[in-house]
Structure 1
Amino acid sequence: MAAASSLFRFIIIVIFTSLVSSNELLSRKKRYLVFPEGSSLSIAICMTAQTGITPGEIFTEGINWGISYELPNDTKPFKELLDKPKEVMQRRHRRELYTKIETIMRSMGYNGRDCVLRALCEASRLKPKGESLVDEILRIVFRYPEYNIGDEGSQVQYNTPAKKRIKFKEECCELFPGCPFSLIDLALGYYSTFNHFDL
């Protein structure tokens, strides 16, 4: 029994001294989150308002918008993007979102480009700290930095609305007349007749 105990101590001492004396750094490859093929993230915005056409107001009108993003299933594109600044990546995602909003607005018969540019312009008038969660989300999504980062090519057009509003002191609806309504005001519920009733 004593021999087994001393053999165990000897093995522990050898392992410990080899670990302490070794200056070799152990490393492991970076791990990435990968989703199965065909995975997507869907976001739906649903707005409902009472119609007010009946005394009991049992009928409602609903407007639903949905956006779907494909989730990554390959890590190779991310390795080359790790060298880019965080601001460049955020702008790329915002540009993709703005392009999708433009497509939605165009399919509804509106000038999608003017509606997005008007929303970017109007976001510059939102208060620094949102009054509500929706206000804060809109401020973050439609706040586009006023300075250029590196070589953005033709995508610079998205950072001009706030500059135009500050420079010319005009209203956004006058700067972008191709969009008859405000996406920001629509999302905040200012077009809802329910908000105009005196309770």
Structure 2
Amino acid sequence: MVSINSAANDKILSRKKRYLVFPEGSSLSIAICMTAQMGITPGEIFTEGINWGISYELPNDTKTFKEFLDKPKEVVQRRHRRDLYDKIENIIKSMGYNGRNCVLRALCEASRHLKPKGESLVDEILRIVFRYPKKYNMGKEEEKHYQYYRASQNGIEFNGEECFEMFPGCPFSLIDLALGYYSAFGYYPDT
């Protein structure tokens, strides 16, 4: 027979936040590899490959987390998004395009063009990367965060203007590129 003491069950338990640390020098690497079959002449095939790699250093000291304990959760999470968006912007800029406009356009398009939740793994990954939190903490965030927030809200609050019109500095859609719409021979986007 098991006896349960109800007084002990009413006690609220708590513990300090815990953090995961990794050995020094650890990193997380993500590689995106895309290949496109290009039909140059009938019967001949030419394949073009595009590879992008992103590497993040993993934390090895919990003291670095203490500075974020006093900040709202959204601000801390957006810091990671900002770092990711900076890396994406630099990749696009190195290819000769306006990286900031392309990321802003992707934030706008993510709320409009992705399939409903649960229908596609690629759409779900893009939704996680390009879904910007709705809550904005005025005064506690940088101007760059507000630009990302505003681009995302423009996609949600459709006002008749398409995302490619709002961000004309980017001639292609990152969302469409990731979904493979540019890989079909002879495909030209509506933009």
- TM (norm. structure 1) is 0.74
Query: Would you say the 8 A contact 2:74–2:135 is kept in 1?
Result: no
For residue 163 of structure 1, report the CA deviation from its aligned partner.
2.7
RMSD: 2.6
Counterparts in 2 of 1:8-87, with a 5 A limit? 32-53=19-40, 59-87=46-74
Asked if the contact 1:189–1:195 (Cα under 8 Å) also holds between the matched residues in 2, the reply is: no
Larger radius of gyration: 1
Which region of structure 1 is more displaced relative to structure 2, 163-172 or 88-97?
163-172
Matched, 1:143 2:131: yes
Could you say which residue in structure 2 is the equivalent of 1:103? 90
In the alignment, which residue of structure 1 is the partner of 2:142?
153
Which residue of structure 1 aligns with residue 154 of structure 2? 164
Instruction: Number of aligned residue pairs: give it.
Output: 170
Query: What is the deviation of 1:92?
Result: 1.1
Q: Per-residue deviation at 1:85?
A: 3.6
- Pairwise CA distance, 1:170: 0.7
Structure 1 vs Structure 2: percent identity of aligned residues? 79
Q: 2:182 aligns with which of 152, 168, 191?
A: 191
Mapped partners of 2:154, 2:19: distance in 1 = 41
Q: Distance in 1 between matches of 2:170 and 2:15?
A: 53
Q: Secondary structure at the match of 1:104?
A: helix
TM-score normalized with structure 2 length: 0.77
Q: 1:173 to 1:29 in 2, by over 3 A?
A: closer
Q: Which amino acid aligns with 1:153?
A: E
Higher helix share: 1
Query: Structure 1: any 5+ residue segments left out of the alignment?
Result: 1-26
2:164 is matched with which residue?
173
Q: What's the offset of the Cα at 1:160?
A: 0.6
Question: SS in structure 2 opposite 1:168?
Answer: coil
